[in-house]
Structure 1
Amino acid sequence: MNSTPVNTEKRDKTNTETSLATDTPVPCPECDGYPKSTGEETICGDCGLVLSEYRIDHGPEWRSLADNTTNPKRTGAPLTRSRHDRGLSTEIGRSIRLTGRKQRQFARLRRQHNRARISTKRERNQVYAFTEIRRLTGAFSLPEQIRDDACSLFRSAQSEDLLRGRSLEGFAAACVYAACRVADVARTAEEITEIAKATPAEQRAAYTALNRELGLPIGPINPAQYLPRFASELELPSDIERCAREYVSMITAQEIGAGRNPSGVAAACLYTAARDIGFELTQQTAANIADVTPVTLRATYHDLRELTPLSTE
């Protein structure tokens, strides 16, 4: 009966590497000595046999570059489109451990570094406009996606040479408004103008240029987008908002709101729904929240009453 020979050397080496991986001391297969690790190799201390040369630590290699911190971070801030350099520039921080001559030296380095970060007028305009965009989006508590989209619109306007002869403040406000329109976020141009540094004429001129030259995917504003915010500011119950949403659907189906201010239509629907359930809400209050006149609100209200007459009248 034939028997297959066993490769003793291969078996002993495999057993040794397995035992080293499990931190179990196993004698050397050649001289029964005990192995020891030096650097990236595991060798026998008696005969010098190399038992393993694969010693890689697959765990995290944490290191902190900040002073006096134990936070295991080795990466910087994420890339963002709201900064002219995508957030890749280096910041020279401040340390309380530097005094005297070293502190003055790093102050000069920090000043020269900040000047070198902005090398062209194009980048200087981006820094100013992006700062204004971040201020506007922060004032309205808009999401970061709106902020990044507005900054991308400003870059596109710069590439198309639309800024010539127009103000940076106007384009910053127009980019925020256009980003809101594209993302179906209910913000009126008047609301943005109240906080922006640009005048209404500057914002309108910049927005017209953006819409004409870039072909923004913007359609008519649905008045229903204003209902949750207006209802919250007026402290109206949920059933009024639900009824107002049905009125908006009715107006859209009958095409009554064509050519009218969407915020005024939303305010008129809320006022009509409040009248239906007997909630106390004046036309002036509803018009003020939508930044329209009571005359504008009454025009939509009368059209709604022709479609759904109030039983108590």
Structure 2
Amino acid sequence: MGIATEISISTKDFSGKTINYQVANQMHNLRKWQQRVRVSSPRERRLANVLTVIGGTCQSLALSSNVLETSSMIYRNLDSHMEVKGKSVACIAAAVIYMACKQCDVVRSLEEICSGTGSNKDLKMKTKLAAKYYRTLVMEAGSVTAPVITMDKYISKISNMTNTDVRVERLALEIAEKTDDASVADGKAPNGIAAAYLYIASVLLGQNVLQRDVSSIAGVTEVTIRNRCKEILSCYKLNLTLRPSLAKN
């Protein structure tokens, strides 16, 4: 289901010994015929190309194997009853991954996924085409219920993409839970508030997290993060009590 068994190009066997030229030629012929048999038809070649793009995109975006497997299954079902010939490989792969992210409750925008498929050239056009494919995919596969995106998912996403310490993420989630109020979140971009929670937690724990790094991942400016931090700290008084799970070793 998207996982291929390949014959290695190496000239050594499983024990590390060099194989003779006759066996090497035999392996070369087997490798060549394996590739020919596996993609013997245009449909199989298209399937191999799309699954390769899906795998590379999921790897570049650090998506879980669950999303990768779900994407592969969605495309296989799509290819069996929908005409995908002539469609852009990168855009159809982005649409499939976007649907898989929704099914697996993973927060990723369609623009992020399109940028992960390769070059950012004509990214706006690629995103628009991928959105069109996604709408067609929803009509073919049935309605897909979008997951409810909560603040903790935004915080976890930014924390994972910035490789922030797990103690910082845990404290940011706790602060967000204690300061859950409409006066802070209403009319404001949730990714900016999540970035602010993460930055406040990093400062409280003495971690070196730069506003520049957090803002670039969250898609907001550094000024936005500072403003959201001021709003949170002006509305609430934070008392930090270090527990063994949060304290430094």
Q: TM-score, normalised by structure 1?
A: 0.54
- Paired letter, 1:127: A
CA shift digits 1:40-76 (9 cap, x unpaired): xxxxxxxxxxxxxxxxxxxxxxxxxxxxxxxxxxxxx
Describe the shift of the 1:219–1:97 C-alpha distance in structure 2 as closer, same or farther (beyond 3 A): same
Q: Aligned match of 1:216 in 144, 152, 162?
A: 144
- Which residue of structure 1 lines up, in the alignment, with residue 216 of structure 2? 288
State the 1:146 CA deviation.
Answer: 1.8
State the 1:148 CA deviation.
Answer: 1.0
Structure whose residues are more often helix by fraction: 2
* Structure-to-structure mapping, 1:199-238, within 5 angstroms: 199=120, 200-201=123-124, 202-210=126-134, 212-213=138-139, 214=141, 215-228=143-156, 230-231=158-159, 233=162, 235=164, 238=167
CA shift digits 1:115-135 (9 cap, x unpaired): 232233222111001111222
Q: TM-score, normalised by structure 2?
A: 0.65
Q: Which has the higher contact order (CA 8 A, sep 6+)?
A: 2
Identity %, equivalent residues: 24
Describe the shift of the 1:90–1:244 C-alpha distance in structure 2 as closer, same or farther (beyond 3 A): closer
- Paired letter, 1:292: V
Describe the shift of the 1:194–1:145 C-alpha distance in structure 2 as closer, same or farther (beyond 3 A): same
Asked if 2 retains the 8 angstrom alpha-carbon contact of 1:263 and 1:290, the reply is yes
Asked if 1 retains the 8 angstrom alpha-carbon contact of 2:92 and 2:133, the reply is no
CA shift digits 1:215-245 (9 cap, x unpaired): 223224223124346446375672x534422
Determine whether 1:297 maps to 2:225: yes
CA distance in 1, matches of 2:57, 2:174: 33
- Paired letter, 1:268: A
CA distance in 2, matches of 1:259, 1:181: 24
- Which residue of structure 1 lines up, in the alignment, with residue 247 of structure 2? none
SS in 2 for 1:221: coil
CA distance in 2, matches of 1:302, 1:161: 52
**Which structure has the larger Rg over C-alpha atoms?**
1
State the 1:285 CA deviation.
Answer: 4.2
- Which residue of structure 1 lines up, in the alignment, with residue 50 of structure 2? 129
CA distance in 2, matches of 1:133, 1:91: 22
State the 1:92 CA deviation.
Answer: 10
Structure 1 unaligned regions, length at least 5: 1-80
CA distance in 2, matches of 1:208, 1:306: 44
C-alpha RMSD of the superposition:
4.2
Worse-superposed segment, 194-203 or 254-263: 254-263
CA shift digits 1:6-37 (9 cap, x unpaired): xxxxxxxxxxxxxxxxxxxxxxxxxxxxxxxx
Structure 2 unaligned regions, length at least 5: 14-18, 240-249
